[in-house]
Amino acid sequence: MNLPIIAYGDKVLRKVGVTISKDYDGLEQLIEDMKETMYNAFGVGLAAPQIGRAIRLFIIDTTPFAEDDELNDDERAFLKTFQRVFINAQILEETGDEWTFNEGCLSIPDIREDVIRQDTVTIKYQDENFKEHKETLTGLAARVVQHEYDHIEGILFTDKVSSLKKRLLKKKLENISKGKIDVDYKMRFPNLKKK
């Protein structure tokens, strides 16, 4: 089922996600629904708070980035295979040089901003079968993990821009929360005015 994506301004996007167990009600279906929702919106990642659940779950599929011919062959080959379900993730370490990438977010349509992050991340998590993993990622794969991980910590990429940029974005973000935006996937807006 294609779920509505929660727009900027909703409190659920600000909650720190709770740990879940194997017995979490309807987990398998939830993961399927999140995949459908992400692909329908042409996203490369989707976190559970974005569909209204403050739990430590996000999914990633960076396949679309594999087409980017500015990347080297190794990175493209890896991005093509980088499809994961992250449950109860914890970032253990962020290292490496800081770099800038122009980020966007399905909960914040039509806004893209340069965000600075470190280029390497080590993360431990459980997959959809609750098997434990520890993985070190770099470049764009790390970037997507960092962005989605922020969601389960209640953080949005627009928090990470300069205070000047924040002032410039304020009105646009208010409009998104009110549903004053054209978007071609299903969304739920916290401050939508009933007509």
For Zn ion, the binding residues (CB under 5 A) are 105
Kindly list the distances between the CA atom of residue 104 and the CA atoms of 46, 49, 110, 141, 158, in Å, as whole numbers in the listed order.
12, 16, 8, 15, 9
The least distance separating Zn ion from the CB of residue 21, rounded to whole angstroms, comes to 25
The least distance separating Zn ion from the CB of residue 88, rounded to whole angstroms, comes to 19
Residue closest to Zn ion, measured at CB: 105
Catalytically annotated residue among 75, 103, 113, 148: 148
Kindly list the distances between the CA atom of residue 3 and the CA atoms of 48, 53, 104, 186, in Å, as whole numbers in the listed order.
11, 12, 19, 7
The least distance separating Zn ion from the CB of residue 157, rounded to whole angstroms, comes to 7
The least distance separating Zn ion from the CB of residue 43, rounded to whole angstroms, comes to 8
The residue (of 30 and 59) whose beta carbon lies closer to Zn ion is 59
The residue (of 27 and 46) whose beta carbon lies closer to Zn ion is 46
The residue (of 27 and 48) whose beta carbon lies closer to Zn ion is 48
Contact indicator for 127, 24 with CB cutoff of 8 Å: no
Kindly list the distances between the CA atom of residue 163 and the CA atoms of 29, 98, 103, 191, in Å, as whole numbers in the listed order.
40, 19, 17, 24
Spatial distance between the Cα atoms of 92 and 124, rounded to a whole number of angstroms: 7
The least distance separating Zn ion from the CB of residue 62, rounded to whole angstroms, comes to 14
The residue (of 109 and 139) whose beta carbon lies closer to Zn ion is 109
For residues 73-98, b (16+ Cβ closer than 10 Å) or e, as one string? eebbebbeebebbbbbbeeeebeeee
The residue (of 105 and 115) whose beta carbon lies closer to Zn ion is 105
Q: Considering Cα of 62, then 63, then 67, then 69, what sign does the dihedral take?
A: positive
Distance of CA 122 to the CA centre of its chain: 17
DSSP state of 41: T
Query: Could you confirm whether 132 is annotated as catalytic?
Result: no
Provide the annotated active-site residues: 148
